[in-house]
Structure 1
């Protein structure tokens, strides 16, 4: 990645309209980014130096990030997992480009410099030098592209602008298929971390949302071992899985709050909708499903990643 790209003025970057008349994404290193995050992404790429004990949760937006944050926080800080009942997962595990590097080039000091957990939506292709130079652990979660699309569509339509200018589903579908969505193209984002997990399996844990939903006990136990916080028995694993279930988390007052955090325009409750697998079937036509499946076969299956259809 040529870091000089991130230092350019927005006026020098390729841009495309993705929603409404004046909403643009800007292309940086092959990926489409929201303009309000480009400078903070630049700071992360240039200045973030993860230490070996750091844990980075990476994901494309709307692929299970909130749940993953809850699970990993509970695994690493097992004696403090009760904090999830009074703190939103995104406040316990801050996003590098949204909460940490917004105004400064350094990570603020924390009470415990070991076992720090951060998250990011930055593609590996932009963050490669940072991650390749560190022994930190990376956990990447991905989700079926059709469910990712529908979840993104719902999420964007919670923005204030959507009250007057809803993001139409047919527009969202077309933009997604052309890679024109925040942090997109989705397929390139996923494959960047997928390839990294194959090259550095001791440092990168790649998991799908569907795997986690189908067998959380097995995969949470695997996560504990990968992160260096193994469980003593299945009872401990079950306790973490239960405390991080959608039903439990979504009913906490902090996660039902209509108050917006300082770091994002939407209220806390916007991060909890349904969490279902296969919800796209309620919104996408058979023709659209086949269109996306054909794209998935081209982008994933042809490269040996048989997932997403």
Structure 2
């Protein structure tokens, strides 16, 4: 689908959900010395990740490009799950990173780093408590229950690039949630649902953490990322079930996140097994 500009005639069709102010976002984010090189906002597209990957591979996007859509019609989450939300009800954006000075073996930390930045930025800007479910689901509390309000998907792009997509439910009402386990910042009692402020807060936190990680050569311990991630990870200390590739499952206590960003699960047999890919189900409340 061809992206449409955000200034089309439906711009003010929902006054409870005003459009993002692209010009103000550019003024606040694109500056000398900033990671962010451009900010583009479109009304509608299939997937911001797919669009930005295509641009990166065609050599049409520089590091720090930010591509935002008010609505996505073919958004994807981890494990090829669909991500749906009404127009202007959340933040749906992708960024292009080119961590050329970081060994590729450490690039697996990029989605976890983004999770820390998103959780930090939203906590500050929206005034809600956030946590991370391994590897990078953003959790909020709604009615005393953990709910997923955001997710992250990283994809390799050509010419040494990584495109990281972020989706966050901001103003979704209970009847608009795609699944009962989902949540939104509004349902979690956010003091602010101004999407311009939220997006700026997330991107500034992402710039900060990406800069620290890159300066440390991608070493998650040296830059404090590994410790910060563990402190905000709601999965650690829980009994979990890991649904692994090959129709295998593993049940045990999530005891650590290792230097490669893998979740270490201790089984009742006394074995500690690192999990690098799979679906994690929390079985015991914190």
Q: TM-score, normalised by structure 2?
A: 0.32
Q: Which structure shows the higher strand fraction?
A: 2
Q: Which has the higher contact order (CA 8 A, sep 6+)?
A: 1
Structure 1 length-normalised TM: 0.30
